Structure 1
Amino acid sequence: MKKKLLSTLMATAMVLGLVGCGNASSTQTASGSTSSTEAGTDGKVYHIGVCQLVEHEALDAATQGFQDALKDKLGENNVVFDVQNAQGEETNCATICTGFVSDNVDLILANATASLQAASAATNSIPIVGTSITDYATALNADDWNGTSGTNITGTSDLAPLDQQEAMIKELVPDVTQVGIVYCSAEANSVFQANQIEAALEKDGIAYKEYSAADSNEIQSVVTKAVSECDCLYVPTDNTMAANVDIIKNVTVPAGIPVIAGEEGICQGALATLSISYYDIGQAAGEMAYEILVNGKDPGTMEIEYASATTKEYNADVADALGITIPDDYVKLSTEE
């Protein structure tokens, strides 16, 4: 009888334990610890989907800045990030963003152009904040762009002044006769930058030629052809190129051809760049997200924000290898070992 009673009590305790576990709502918070969905003073936990096109230094920094800003403003236990990397594939961006919509996230961070385009196609109601987008009008195929989307989209841009980048070509390669513009044809923002650089080069009477790669598999052959026909290359802000800087460096440096890069990540394999802080534009995007989530701002009326400062940077290893003297107003880039 005692054994039967003991068995009954144990069974009851197990059932109660399972019921308790089944009713507990636990999720991964920004700090990496588990927390009840009733975390926070107002009981609200915000769920943010992050679609990052590819893993590289610039986009990583933007995502980190975004997360840090929201953790700081909301509290670490009041925000949950579902960070997903599309591995450079547009189809993966679409799958990721469709999943975020199914999960009914509170907001989507679209990090890079393909991510923004996928998020825009996936939802017209969930707020979308972009970052690392060079030109929103181009990315969204908007003909009547006036600085705001009029939709559920806003964000920050990684565009550094292109006329100043072209001026760096003249400053560092004063005897240049033809500039090769190398980019990935699948990235709309790269095409936009190429057109802008070409207009600046035409104004200064400098010849140029485009060299486009459809994907990373074509980069080596495209760059090899470019260095055989040009005495300087320009690589715009381009995620495909940024993910393959070693290939670019291994072709251009032995050939003695300097490369001016559109952003700091690409400059790991180039001579110089006019850089912005991707962490800062990510942080600004996070602050915009806070205004949308907490203060109810309409993303469609929020103007796209740009980096507040630029820095002329150079890669000392590449400069030494090419025998190019860099002016004093350039800052030495911290290169990876």
Structure 2
Amino acid sequence: MKKRSLAFLVTLAAIACTIMGTTACKKENPSFTIGIFQFTQHESLDAATQGFKDALTDKLGDNVTFDERNANGDRTTCTTVIDEFIYNDVDLILANSTTSLQIATAATSEIPILGTSVTEYRTALQLNDFDGTIGGNISGTSDFVPPAEQAALIQELFPDAKKIGMLCCSSEANSQYQAAALQKELANIGYSCESYLFADSNDLSYAAENAAAECDVIYIPTDNTIASCAGLIANICEAEGLPVITGEESTCRVCGAATLTVDYYDLGYATGEMAARILIDREDISTMPVQYASSFTKKYNAEICKQLGMTIPEDYIPLETE
């Protein structure tokens, strides 16, 4: 009888050790599900998403799963995607673009949200008091390029230009913010500026044609609607022999002469590192300040510059174009 009792106790102890070991293993190697919400298909956004995934995979290996969604520019789809993320109780949401961030923020105050490819968080989220840290369940990275440096690029390439046209979407708050900030800097160095707003891709052609007819140079901020219609702008401006400066390099590959840009893969990677700090190190997202790119690169579209007869300074890097 004693032998049976002893055997039973040994068996119980073995089972307990197994359970405890399994629990400890789970604690040491937790797995996470990340909801990736991208507003539209776009080269820069794609690069940011890839950088984010690579950073988390480098940190977590097989212990991270990505639920990757693209709304293809449709706001109704955006709401559906976020609702599904909330229902599935994902561990963290990557909101890739201003619109993605706005919709995710409106939908949940519980799940951690990291934005990326967002230029100005104060404007995007209508924050009255923003000191660099948003608070709550939101933080992220910004693709903000200082407007003074953008103005300097325009002056360097087009010292004799008089009027600069700003082409931007009226429904993209960050697009309008960039245009307004750059206008102020350009006015300080003697340029006149005018904004040409459009509501969506349907009236972009009209706005672009007016800008091309009235201006010496067109500036395009980081704007998802414009990025998806860059070929249309290229056709209009090429016919007028008008140079375009863009806020990022993927649009510049299609319709721009030059750009001052951040590296979106690196931006996404930095966002992934922030996610790792939240998930693995249990860092409080409410205390994490928004991170900004530390360097910017001057790049140019060699084919378009040749068509325009432009001479490009040596410190500009040629874009790879198809």
TM-score, L = length of structure 2: 0.90
Matched, 1:224 2:224: no
Report the equivalent of 1:44.
30
Matched, 1:113 2:98: yes
1:68-104 CA-partner distances (Å, limit 9, x unpaired): 00001011x2111011001112332222111101110
Matched, 1:203 2:188: yes
Report the equivalent of 1:171.
156
Matched, 1:321 2:311: no
Specify which of 265, 283, 286 is matched with residue 279 of structure 1.
265
1:252-305 CA-partner distances (Å, limit 9, x unpaired): 122111111111111111000001100000000000000001111111110111
The list of structure 1 runs, each at least 4 consecutive aligned residues, that deviate by more than 3 angstroms after superposition, is 39-43
**Higher percent of residues as helix:** 2
Matched, 1:155 2:140: yes
- Give the superposition deviation at 1:42: 3.6
Counterpart amino acid of residue 294 in structure 1: I
Matched, 1:138 2:123: yes
Report the equivalent of 1:312.
298
**CA distance 1:40–1:58, shift in 2 (3 Å):** farther
Q: Does structure 2 retain, via aligned residues, the 8 Å contact 1:234–1:260?
A: yes
Q: How far apart, in 1, do the equivalents of 2:162 and 2:198 lie?
A: 23
Specify which of 74, 80, 87 is matched with residue 65 of structure 2.
80
Q: Does structure 2 retain, via aligned residues, the 8 Å contact 1:184–1:215?
A: yes
1:2-41 equivalent positions in 2, closer than 5 A: none
Matched, 1:101 2:83: no
Instruction: Describe the SS at the equivalent of 1:202.
Output: helix
Report the equivalent of 2:256.
270
Report the equivalent of 2:281.
295
Counterpart amino acid of residue 92 in structure 2: L
What RMSD in Å do the two structures reach over aligned CA positions? 1.4
Structure 2: where are the runs of 5+ without partners? 1-24
Shifted more, 166-175 versus 64-73: the winner is 166-175
Q: Does structure 2 retain, via aligned residues, the 8 Å contact 1:314–1:331?
A: yes
Q: How far apart, in 2, do the equivalents of 1:59 and 1:96 lie?
A: 17
Report the equivalent of 1:30.
none
1:180-239 CA-partner distances (Å, limit 9, x unpaired): 000111101001101101111121121111101111122222111110000100001111
Q: How far apart, in 1, do the equivalents of 2:77 and 2:132 lie?
A: 28
TM-score, L = length of structure 1: 0.86
**CA distance 1:325–1:126, shift in 2 (3 Å):** same
- Give the superposition deviation at 1:40: 7.5
